[in-house]
Amino acid sequence: MTFKKLSPKQKKVFHWCYQPGSYALICDGSVRSGKTAAMSCSFVLWAMTKFSGENFGICGNTVQAVERNIIAPLSLMVDITYYFKLKYVGGNRHLLTVSGNGRENYFYLFGGKDEASYKLIQGITLAGVFFDEVALMPESFVNQAIARTLSISDSKLWFSCNPDSPAHWFYKDWILKAAEKNALRIQFEMRDNPMMTPEKIKRTKSLYSGVFYERYVLGRWVMAEGLVYTMFRHDKHIGLPEQLPEGDWFISIDYGTRNPTSMGLWLLAYNGQAYRVRESYYDSRREGMQRTDEEHYAELVRLAGDVAEKVNYVVVDPSAASFIECIRRHGLFRIRKADNSVIDGIRDVGTLLQMGALHFAPECKDTIREFGLYSWDTKKSNDIVIKENDHAMDDIRYFVRTAMLRTLKEIRREDDFGLYDRRK
């Protein structure tokens, strides 16, 4: 595949690095805007034009994300592979070697997922670094990577991201200070991607609501405030069909001792629609006594009822070690520890609600109640939800982040890059 057409903003991405005095490029804005493809291609072309025998860094939230979002598409770009040979070695090295026209350079992959990640990048000298989704990386990691470039006089930095909170360190330290840091900032919209037709733009917009719509569609750095799930509607999401379709059964659990324990029995239909058929919600403070693990297990069996033997697995709050052991000891249910990525989970639940893929029985009264109360904490500078009325919300998020990953991939099956003519 090759680039079919470039928008004016994408052309700037390819040209900026050859202009005298330029040091950094910041491309932020909406999803599906074509910024990542243009940046990754131009980053490699710039490195292979200006250097030989040098090391470079390509950074993402995880190495796996870099392999998926950068390395795999690069290996298919005729604009790269026509001129250069690419060889990628995974394992413990995570090294992409690019050679051709008498030059050879080395691109090391790094994951910056937490504060300890800066140690992974210490000691190496880099002639340039591309930070893909820099807003997902801690400041300590990014600063360490930048420090690795200071001994190379012509080094340059490349940053891409979707917007986050205006209190985010990258927004305050780089976007607001772009001029003084000699950085070119380009704000992308979906219309800046030539391959995004009006129909594709409309479909992508339909995936988001609330703060995620403002950030991922409008490209704004805005605070999260108000209700989390503004797209939840009684007429759209409450109610089950008279006859449930064929599908697989699951149970999701947010476990609490002093806090409420919320359980949901789900049918995930083969067409990707999910139905919360019934729930159990036990608030020890409201009831005046705490349940033991065995009592919670008895409630789990009661919730499963006549489909207990059909339940694929139970998704459990990963911190509930004693309860997980209790379930395993009885041997009736298989267990999956839940993915507790809060913001990713909220975004995924929001997408499924927006698409009308989640349905709730009217009897799930505590779930419906929490949807009307679950709110962002505006007293915090980062995206944090108020830790009240969040127990059914958590177990729904656990279910979505495990059992519905395939559905989410189908919904987002459009190529993130969306910029190539695959016929070439």
Stretch 372-396: mean pLDDT: 93
pLDDT digits (tens, 9 = 90+) for 230-270: 999 999 999 999 999 999 999 999 999 889 999 999 999 99
Q: Tell me if 23 is assigned to some domain.
A: yes
Q: Is the pLDDT score of 406 beyond 50? A: yes
What would the 3-class secondary structure string for the chain be? CEECCCCHHHHHHHHHHHCCCCCEEEEEECCCCCHHHHHHHHHHHHHHHHCCCCEEEEEECCHHHHHHHHHHHHCCCHHHHCCCEEEEECCCCCEEEEEECCEEEEEEEEECCCHHHHHHHCCCCCCEEEEECHHHCCHHHHHHHHHCCCCCCCCEEEEEECCCCCCCHHHHHHHCCCCCCCEEEEEECHHHCCCCCHHHHHHHHCCCCHHHHHHHCCCCCCCCCCECCCCCCHHHHECCCCCCCCEEEEEEEECCCCCCEEEEEEEEECCCCEEEEEEEEECHHHHCCCCCHHHHHHHHHHHHHHHHHHEEEEEECCCCHHHHHHHHHHCCCCEEECCCCHHHHHHHHHHHHHCCCEEECCCCHHHHHHHCCCEECCCCCCCCECCCCCHHHHHHHHHHHHHCHHHHHHHCCCCCCCCEECCC
Higher pLDDT, 118 or 337: 337
Identify whether residues 238 and 184 lie together within a single domain: no
Considering the domain architecture, whether residues 406 and 308 belong to the same structural domain is answered as yes
Task: pLDDT band for 4, please (50, 70, 90 cuts).
Answer: confident
Taking residues 212-223, what's their average pLDDT? 95
Residue 214 resides in a domain: no
Q: According to the model, what pLDDT value does residue 2 have?
A: 64
pLDDT at 363: 97
User: Does position 420 have pLDDT exceeding 60, yes or no?
Assistant: no
Classify residue 375: in a domain, yes or no: yes
Whether residue 422 is contained in a domain is answered as no
* 180 and 261 co-located in one domain: no
Same domain, 330 and 379: yes
Residue 415 — pLDDT band, cuts 50, 70, 90? very low
pLDDT more than 90, % of the chain? 83
Asked, for residue 31, whether it belongs to a domain, the answer is: yes
* pLDDT confidence band for 92 (50 / 70 / 90): confident
Q: Do residues 178 and 247 both lie within one domain? A: no
Residues 267 and 387 reside in one and the same domain:
yes
pLDDT > 70? residue 413: no
Single out the residue in 196, 220, 246 at which a domain terminates.
196
Domain assignment of residue 377, yes or no? yes
**Is the predicted pLDDT of residue 285 greater than 80, yes or no?**
yes
pLDDT band at 422 (very low <50, low <70, confident <90, very high): very low
CATH (domain of 94): 3.40.50.300
Q: Evaluate whether residue 205 is within a structural domain.
A: no
Q: Which of 171, 196, 221 is the last residue of a domain?
A: 196
Is 139 a residue whose pLDDT tops 50? yes
Domain of residue 180, residue span: 2-196
Q: Determine, yes or no, domain membership for 420.
A: no
Number of domains in the chain: 2
Band of the pLDDT at 199, cuts 50, 70, 90? Answer: very high
For the chain, the average pLDDT equals 92
Q: Are residues 84 and 22 in the same domain?
A: yes
Confidence class for position 410, pLDDT limits 50, 70, 90: confident
- Domain of residue 356, CATH code: 3.30.420.280
Residue 108 pLDDT more than 90? yes
Q: In the structure, what pLDDT confidence band is assigned to residue 1 with cuts at 50, 70 and 90?
A: low
